[in-house]
Amino acid sequence: MLFKGSYVALVTPFTPSMEIDFEAYGRLVDYQLENGTDGLLPCGCTGEAATLSHEEQKQCIRFVIERVAGRVPVLAGTGSNNTLEAIGLTRFAKEAGADGALLITPYYNKPTAAGQIAHYNAVANAVDIPIMLYNVPGRTCTKMEPSTIATLSKTPNIVAIKEACGSVDQVSQIISKCDITVLSGDDSLTLPMMVVGAKGVVSVAANVAPAETADLCRLANAGDYDGARKMHYKLLPLFGGLFIETNPMPVKAALARMGIIQNVLRLPLVPMTESKQPEIDTILKGLALI
């Protein structure tokens, strides 16, 4: 199974002049590889893809693929609310050597179920690459229903979904209707979702604590729910702390505190409120990360 375990939704490091900081990006990728992350995702929501140009997005995807050099799968974020743009980015990801593509439900347009199906099938039919759907109505204002997901799962190369509805019942309904691979899109729900059949997570927390997040998934996939539960509660403060403000503001603050990247975001995002840094520091110290 390609999509299993802990896939990290990588942040995109920037320099103070707002250029992509590839030196820091390399440190972050190496940190993941050294600590057992199962797969890497450049250019997702956590990677601030919304404020990357298409050329920058391609540079990031290519950089991560080359840095990883086949050691773990790379899942490229190639989604768009413009279907032709999504096809173009997904085609690039395949040509660059990505192992799969993550495509967010089209945002702002608010397509109906029929439009969602037509969008994803257009990409899947245009590019022969494993595709992971991404259902995150909190960001897109559009939810994919389990019946829609079940229909899309019949397309041969639509093989997985990142579920970020915040609902274990949604995951249960999906798995009851089809055999698509489900990964959690909410760190705090990884274990509950895996108990009902999900196979892992596309994680924000793994940027900071890759070894622990990967261990949680491995324990749960092995059926060691007691061990997975202990890891869940160990990580629970981090899961909450990384969302005290809009993602990826807190995770960038944490990674900067760890010396991996600089705490720089592109507008309209700004660095996390300074008064909240002690809360992040306490969490990092609790995990012996600083």
DSSP string, 95-158: HHT-SEEEEEPPPSS---HHHHHHHHHHHHHHS-S-EEEEE-HHHHS-PPPHHHHHHHTTSTTE
Mean pLDDT across 169-187: 98
The answer to whether 7 is a known catalytic residue is no
For residues 141 and 226, what is the distance between their CA atoms, to the nearest angstrom? 36
Provide the pLDDT for residue 200.
98
Global pTM reads 0.97
Provide the pLDDT for residue 286.
98
Picking from 88, 41, 35, the residue whose alpha carbon sits closest to that of residue 203 is 41
Provide the pLDDT for residue 87.
98
| Residue 179 DSSP one-character state | -
Provide the pLDDT for residue 124.
98
The answer to whether 58 is a known catalytic residue is no
Q: Does residue 157 surpass a pLDDT of 90?
A: yes
- How many residues in the chain? 290
Catalytic residue among 58, 134, 199, 252: 134
Q: Does residue 72 surpass a pLDDT of 90?
A: yes
Task: Please write the tens of the pLDDT for every residue from 224-261.
Answer: 999 999 999 999 999 999 999 999 999 999 999 999 99
Task: Please write the tens of the pLDDT for every residue from 6-40.
Answer: 999 999 999 999 999 999 999 999 999 999 999 99
Cβ 242 vs Cβ 254: under 8 Å: yes
Provide the pLDDT for residue 187.
98
Question: How sure is the predictor about 2, in pLDDT bands with cuts at 50, 70 and 90?
Answer: confident
- Mean pLDDT of all residues in the chain? 98
Catalytic residue among 162, 230, 233, 234: 162
3-state secondary structure of 270: coil
Task: Please write the tens of the pLDDT for every residue from 121-146.
Answer: 999 999 999 999 999 999 999 999 99
Mean pLDDT across 207-214: 98
Provide the pLDDT for residue 213.
98
Provide the pLDDT for residue 140.
93
Provide the pLDDT for residue 1.
76
Percent with pLDDT over 90 in the chain: 99
Would you kindly state where each structural domain of the chain is located, as residue ranges? 5-224
Question: How sure is the predictor about 161, in pLDDT bands with cuts at 50, 70 and 90?
Answer: very high
Q: Give me the CATH topology for the region 5-224.
A: TIM Barrel (3.20.20)
Total H helices, total E strands in the chain? 12, 8
What angle, rounded to 10 degrees, do the helices at 22-34 and 54-68 form?
40
Residue with the bigger pLDDT between 110 and 1: it is 110
Mean pLDDT across 62-90: 98
